Amino acid sequence: MNAVRVLPHVAAALERRAAVVALETSVLSQGLPVPYNAQCASRMVRAVESRGAVAALTAVARGIATLGLTDEELARFLARDGVRKVGSRDLGACTVQGADGATTVAASLTIARAAGIEVLATGGIGGGHRGAPFDESGGLAALSRTPVIVVCAGAKSILDLPATLERLETLGVPVIGFGTDELPGFFTRTTGLRVPQRSDSAAEIARIAHAHWALGERSAVLVVQPPPADTALDRAMVDAAVKGAVRDAEAAGITGPALTPFLLGAVLAATGGRSLPANLALLESNAGLAADIAVACAAAGA
């Protein structure tokens, strides 16, 4: 029995070795409010398809790990009621218990890899939390062991970005700036942190990833690109908003899986709602770049 259900249109694309991009669903069920999560899903799928690739949402649908969601399933996930936030460690329990689970980057990597997909798009990866050196996203460990190209806008601004970049180095995860020499800060285009490699070509990124894996390395290749300039936020404003949100979370005793959604919500309020359009725009932009890379990967394997 296959561990992952693959919807027919995705399976057909994989069979003919066409470009496929996996999309995580935690951003839809836990990250973005209704109805903006539905807008996000449409914009990301459209961005992928407009570049000649097939979009495949990763999730656990009533106990079935899946690559692709039916319209009815997607509606449930967008409604957000009773949908678990599922990391890689939670996949087994979610499937056995027949639950709906929206997948984080870590769980999405597991599903994408099981189905043979080489490219995943997300907003921002997880990492080390500010002021909590041992509170680290499981996504970093997943990146270190899963050979998939992950396209993002850096790590989420709520995190300790220097520490996260150091951990990626320790874990042997290549970080490539697409059109930038600097690590983006999710909502912001700059952080003052240099990336070790830069590329201005989707085709070159595909070649770099394949060369990395051909040498026996099994880590992901992390591609970071700045959020679109017309919606990106001021770095000082975001930093002040995040510091206030972290203080509020500490005062309220919020930790664990609930922390990231709380912090993102607090930043949304502190920025007067401006972080929401920035988030939607960067997710759409990342999906488009991921499609370009997936098309290049498919061409290389043809």
Give the span between the Cα atoms of 109 and 84, in whole angstroms. 17
Q: Is 214 exposed, middle or buried (0-12, 13-18, 19+ CB in 10 A)?
A: exposed
Beta bridge partners of 85: 102
Catalytic pick among 15, 24, 136, 217? 24
Residues in CB range of 92: below 8 A, 6 or more apart: none
In whole angstroms, how far apart are CA 12 and each of 15, 69, 126, 211, 254?
5, 15, 32, 27, 44
Tokens 């908003």 sit on residue: 241
Verify whether residue 24 is a known catalytic residue.
Answer: yes
Calculate the CA dihedral of residues 11, 125, 194, 250 and round it to 10 degrees: 180
Nearest-angstrom CA–CA distance, 271 and 279: 12
Distance CA 109, CA 107 (A): 5
Q: 269 vs 39, 56, 158, 244, 262, CA distance in Å?
A: 20, 31, 14, 11, 11
Q: How far apart are CA 47 and CA 59, in angstroms?
A: 20
Determine which one of 85, 118, 136, 156 is catalytic: 156
Spatial separation of the C-alpha atoms in residues 105 and 124, rounded to whole Å: 9
156 is catalytic: yes
Give me the active site residues, please.
Answer: 24, 156
